[in-house]
Structure 1
């Protein structure tokens, strides 16, 4: 089913609003300790507990309004519920911090399996919005596969060896900026392997 068009501002709020609210909530509550059911929870765990239903609600709203969820959106929601839920249940923030690692390993692994089969599975999900020649798709898939694995390693290094606050900043700003930068640097590839505008605009010979 084709994706329904909605207000771009509303779509951006639904996609990024939960992450922004998580970041703001963390800054306000990071030094707080809450006694719930006789057990102490730090601010990070409390914000994670609030983030899970917020993420579920925003994703369901996006699905209802557009009639569509990308595979990455669906996988992100599942991992947020799974790893965020374990962080809250076990009162252990390590689980939610591992979520980006698992997400990027999942997508990097899937792209890698496709490459081993001589296929670009990235083309399957993105061909309609980003037409490329087959060779361009294979190059982009190899690059994105390696990039996903690099992000997984970066996330592991930061949450394990840096402060909690450093990881929150990395998760909120570093990962989106890195992803944006990756595609910006693919400009030469899109120009080389994208559709030839001259050929598209040339009418039939008379």
Structure 2
């Protein structure tokens, strides 16, 4: 199926909507307890149970509208279903809290493996968005690999050392802000190694 362009606002809603819904749902249900089949579940687990099908639905809609999903989107969905499902099934919120750690370790590990082979796997998925010379891609890949490992470590420290409230805010706002800040600080790299359209 060929990739199709969709409204960027709709794309943003589909990608960030489930995260926003999770945050709102948790804020409203965090102090409540629900009983299903004789088992009590805290609000966090109930919201996680709702987040999984919502994530599947929005990812499916995105695929239906664009005809394509990035490997990172597929990997993220698989880990959401796996670790979210374990949290609901075992009634243990720790598995879902570990999900960001696993995602960033996976992405960092894949990029790191490519670097060991002298390749930038990041370039394979982002070259059209950020045209750069090969040297620039290798530098950016090394930086973002280290950044992913740092995010994995930060997530472990936050969920193991602080309250669920702190972790939810960190996951919803902290990780997103960190990613934006990282790319904002790469401006000089993009200027130095960027390729103008008339050079391609």
Give the CA deviation at 1:156: 0.2
Matches within 5 A, 1:98-137: 98-137=98-137
CA offset digits 1:77-135 (Å, max 9, x no partner): 00000000000000000000000000000000011111111111111111111111111
Q: Which stretches in structure 2 are left out of the alignment for 5+ residues?
A: none
Corresponding pairs, count:
200
Matches within 5 A, 1:22-101: 22-101=22-101
Q: CA RMSD in A?
A: 1.3
Give the CA deviation at 1:157: 0.2
CA offset digits 1:52-98 (Å, max 9, x no partner): 00000000000000111111111110000000000000000000000
Distance in 1 between the 2:64 and 2:40 partners? 37
Distance in 2 between the 1:86 and 1:48 partners? 10
Which segment is superposed worse, 8-17 or 180-189?
Answer: 8-17
What's the TM-score once normalised by structure 2's chain length? Answer: 0.97
Query: Structure 1 runs of 4+ off > 3 angstroms?
Result: none
Distance in 1 between the 2:157 and 2:134 partners? 35
Distance in 1 between the 2:50 and 2:74 partners? 19
Work out which of the two has the higher radius of gyration on C-alpha atoms and give 1 or 2. 1
SS in 2 for 1:195: coil
SS in 2 for 1:109: helix
Distance change >3 Å, CA 49–CA 167, structure 1 → 2? same
Q: Which stretches in structure 1 are left out of the alignment for 5+ residues?
A: 202-206
Distance in 1 between the 2:2 and 2:113 partners? 27
Distance in 2 between the 1:109 and 1:31 partners? 37
Give the CA deviation at 1:196: 4.5
Distance in 1 between the 2:145 and 2:2 partners? 27
SS in 2 for 1:41: strand
